[in-house]
Amino acid sequence: MIQIIPAIDLIDGKCVRLTQGDFNQKTEYDSSPVEIAKIIEDAGIKKLHVVDLDGAKHKKIINHKTLEAIVKATKLDVDFGGGLQSDQDVQIAFDCGAKQITGGSIAVKNRPLFEQWILRFGPEKIILGADVRNEQIAVSGWQEVSNISVFDFIDSYIQLGLKYIFCTDVAKDGLLQGPSFKLYEKIKNQFPDILLIASGGVTTTSDVEQLNQMGVYGAIIGKAYYEGKIQLLDLQKYIS
């Protein structure tokens, strides 16, 4: 059964959503991140994806105190990403209670360092963030598109033992137009054993069901939840 993984994106310790990663298209929500995390936990959900958007912008961990507050207030398994660029950043994230960390741009731009994290912390603690535009890897907050195929990128890391792959189709993110089913289907067909987490565009319960039928491990629920397109109660069949 697919894992429901709500997302909390942080700027200045507040919960926000961006459209296609654009800081100029920001929506700020009234509830505090801790309040939202408690609501998510009360619905029976076990996992939470937290993104430090300030960290992504400034290339260092910034919102770790908010991560720590969420972990102290709930029993959610939190994965944390955004701006993790050094051993110190990653250690702070784990010390503040992150169950896993997600590395995206760093896995492209500083592969030796990212490989060290896999060896040091273990592949079960590391999620590979594959941000994609037209099947090519995008980096630096999606502002740059590399010449690296998403399939080659994933293949190179699963050979090091990574199984958790977090894939966001940049073209879908924040638009509430449905996820990139064809991309996820191609990835699953090529790498049937990975634990693929689909992100970007998940808008309805039928989107979640289609991803579930495809054998996708997890679905990130972001803007659709905050804007009432999906109610957590509607997802109870996926929540054990």
pLDDT at 8: 95
194 residue type, one letter: I
pLDDT at 102: 97
| Closest to 178 measured CA to CA, from 197, 163, 200 | 200
Q: Which residues contact 61 (CB under 8 A, 6 or more apart)?
A: 52, 55, 82, 83, 84, 89, 92, 93
Whether 9 sits among the annotated catalytic residues: the reply is yes
Backbone angles phi, psi at 207, to 5 degrees: -60, -45
Q: Which residues contact 110 (CB under 8 A, 6 or more apart)?
A: 85
| Closest to 9 measured CA to CA, from 53, 46, 67, 40 | 53
| Closest to 18 measured CA to CA, from 53, 50, 60 | 53
* Domain layout of the chain by residue ranges: 3-238
pLDDT at 171: 76
Q: Of 52, 54, 89, 131, which is the active-site residue?
A: 131
> Is 36:45 a contact under the CB 8 Å cutoff?
no
- Which helix H or strand E contains 157, and what residues bound it? helix 150-158
In angstroms, the CA 111 to CA 8 distance is: 27
In angstroms, the CA 203 to CA 124 distance is: 28
189 residue type, one letter: N
> Is 179:211 a contact under the CB 8 Å cutoff?
yes
Whether 54 sits among the annotated catalytic residues: the reply is no
pTM confidence score: 0.92
In angstroms, the CA 175 to CA 207 distance is: 14
Q: According to CATH, what is the number of the domain 3-238?
A: 3.20.20.70
pLDDT tens-place string over residues 38-71: 999 999 999 999 999 999 889 999 999 999 999 9
pLDDT tens-place string over residues 73-109: 999 999 999 989 999 999 999 999 999 999 998 999 9
pLDDT beneath 70, residues of the chain: 17-30, 140-145, 172-176
